[in-house]
Amino acid sequence: MNLQNAKVLITGGNSGIGAAVAEILIAAGAKVAISGRNLEKLEAVAAKIGAVAIQADVNNEADVTNMVQTAVEKLGGLNVLINNAGYGYMAPLVDIDPKEFEEVWRTNVYGLMLTAQAASRIFIAQKHGNIVNIASTAALNGGANLSPYNATKFAVRGMTEAWRGELRPHNIRVMLVNPSEVMTSFAENLLSNSGKTPKVYTENEQATKLRGEEIAHVIKGLLEMDDRGFVTEATVFATNPKV
Ligand SMILES: NC(=O)c1ccc[n+]([C@@H]2O[C@H](COP(=O)([O-])OP(=O)(O)OC[C@H]3O[C@@H](n4cnc5c(N)ncnc54)[C@H](OP(=O)(O)O)[C@@H]3O)[C@@H](O)[C@H]2O)c1
């Protein structure tokens, strides 16, 4: 698609990967709305990069309906959804807190589904649209102690495959992006949500990890491809050279 014609909603756009995607798409001429729960952060990022700010909790159906409607009104339409809001929770099976397990599922799976549902109704009616779901390399391989997060991201990958089949006849491209470790607030939140002390990365360690910019670069490329084709899934690793 020509990004000059892109009207984009990015959930979790007030931080990390989502904010980097918003910035690169705006620079390429797209109109972008970002959403998140933290209004102060949302308004600050939106003002800095020239995005529309829409406060919404993706766990809440009324918020999701309002978020998508507002994006359509403020952008003058909608043809791209970047379904990115999410966070991590980890614990060994024997120690999983059922409430935390359910909470992370509600955001990463249920919230992502509600958002895709609201956007796809618009995309089906206009016979055109793009959905980019952000999963993780944790959608590809299970890891010890990671099952609560693995469960959500495997689900995102499965739903992406199902929706791709359903929506492709409506000229809607459904794509998946699996980032490996990206230097955002994700890791710090994952560890603190899981009752662990956040790890402080040295400058050298940070230099060998991904930044939001690499994920943004991939998403821009996926969208820019002519509508005649699409990439189903892109997995992004850090080159991670051993020095
Ligand atoms: N960083 C990594 O290493 C990594 C690797 C693989 C996949 N991912 C995935 O990439 C996505 C973005 O993560 P990130 O690394 O950019 O982390 P981040 O900087 O912590 O950003 C997470 C974003 O999600 C939003 N969010 C969380 N819960 C929400 C809710 N209930 N409703 C609406 N928004 C919500 C947050 O905004 P508010 O708190 O203001 O709501 C924030 O904007 C996530 O889906 C994550 O699982 C990250």
- Domain CATH for 78: 3.40.50.720
Phi, psi of 8 (to 5 degrees): -120, 135
Q: Which residues line ligand 1 (CB under 6 A)?
A: 11-12, 14-18, 36-38, 41, 57-59, 84-87, 107, 111, 134, 136, 179, 181-182, 184-186, 189
Within-domain flag for 240: no
Per-residue pLDDT at 240: 77
Q: Which domain holds residue 22?
A: 3-231
Q: What is the mean pLDDT of residues 147-162?
A: 98
Q: State the distance from the centre of ligand 1 to the C-alpha of 85, rounded, in angstroms.
A: 5
Within-domain flag for 181: yes
Within-domain flag for 13: yes
% of the chain surpassing 70 pLDDT: 99
Residue 243, pLDDT above cutoff 70: no
* 8 A C-beta contact, residue 3 and residue 25: yes
Can you read off the two tokens belonging to residue 242?
């051993």
Number of domains, the chain: 1
Gap between the Cα atoms of 236 and 243, Å rounded = 21
Within-domain flag for 75: yes
Give 35-70 pLDDT, tens digit per residue. 999 999 999 999 999 999 999 999 999 999 999 999
Gap between the Cα atoms of 40 and 60, Å rounded = 19
Within-domain flag for 138: yes
Within-domain flag for 239: no
Gap between the Cα atoms of 45 and 4, Å rounded = 21
Q: Which residue from 120, 115, 135 is spatially nearest to 60, judged by alpha carbons?
A: 115
Per-residue pLDDT at 205: 84
Within-domain flag for 184: yes
Q: What is the mean pLDDT of residues 182-196?
A: 92
**Mutation to probe ligand 1, out of 17, 21, 185, 194 (largest number of atoms < 8 A from CB):** 17
Catalytically active residues, by annotation: 149, 153
Give the Å distances, CA to CA, from 57 to 28, 52, 110, 159, 213.
28, 16, 12, 20, 25
Within-domain flag for 22: yes
Q: Which residues pair with 175 in a beta bridge?
A: 132
Gap between the Cα atoms of 143 and 138, Å rounded = 8
Gap between the Cα atoms of 131 and 127, Å rounded = 13
Can you read off the two tokens belonging to residue 10?
């990015």
